[in-house]
Amino acid sequence: MVAYTLSIVAAVGVVMLTALVFRLVKRTGADRDPDGPSASHAGAMLSAMFLLVFAIAIIVPWTTADAARQNTQAESQAAIDAYWAADGLPDTAPQQVRGALRDYVTFVVRDEWPLMAQGRMDPVGAARMDELRGRVIDLEVSGSDEEEAKADVLEHISAISTARAQRTADAAAAPPGGLLFLTILTGVVVIVFPFLAGARPSGPAIVPLLMMAALLGFGVHLTWDISRAFDGPLAVGPEAFQGALQEFARVGGGM
């Protein structure tokens, strides 16, 4: 924060020093008009700054949400693959593994998804995956087919755990610190700049300014509303996991 403050002070100092030097070296007329060179240049640069910050504030959450959506697809598909692979395990292991997978996916949809909108995850989900992994590791198998089935199930469980870890990061992800504040600040400056420059619009001339302010307000609110991947208009839903539950029912006959 100190570095940001110092950079702002330095930039302001450069402007003041430059103005002083040019005033001493070269005598020119004062630039007091609202549409003068100084106001026009500053207005253009402030608008460009707002557009840059606003674009970053939109693109970062959009990219995060897109990656989170793909990751939920990968995790649910790994659960489906593990459900299929469990069929080659011996004795009652297929029913136990499939039951654990079904309980896990149901837990994610019903209990964990609401927490993810708040940027949190339930540690119970990770504990269930660890328990299932340990149960499969301890499973005694014989023959190459059962060995291969066990290895496949463990591989898919590992994929689920990896995707879950990424989902944890996606749930906690947020735009860079200060970006939302900077978006609000630059938006406010763009709105009030004509008045700071000396313009006093009235009558029909103020209508475009009001429209711009309304659109800027909507845009700033949008950047706040989409700041989390699992909440807001861009929220990633549990459709992939719901689809996995439907696939479980189809494969196992509702077992």
The amino acid occupying position 84 is: W
- List the structure tokens of 227: 């700041």
Domains of the chain, residue spans:
36-252
Dihedral angle sign, alpha carbons of residues 4, 10, 14, 16: positive
Burial 80-113 (b: 16+ CB within 10 A, else e): bbbbbbbebbeeebbebbbbbbbebbebbbeebb
pLDDT tens digit at each of 255 positions of the chain: 555 455 445 544 544 554 555 455 555 555 555 555 666 666 677 778 888 888 888 888 888 889 999 999 999 999 999 999 999 899 898 999 999 999 999 999 999 999 998 889 999 999 999 999 999 999 888 888 889 999 999 999 999 999 999 999 999 888 877 778 888 888 888 877 777 777 676 777 778 778 878 888 888 888 888 888 898 888 899 999 999 999 999 886 544
DSSP 109: I
Dist CA 179 CA 53 (whole Å): 7
- List the structure tokens of 111: 């209990």
The amino acid occupying position 188 is: V
The amino acid occupying position 157 is: I
Dist CA 174 CA 218 (whole Å): 20
Q: Among all chains, which residue has been given the structure tokens 């001339």?
A: 205
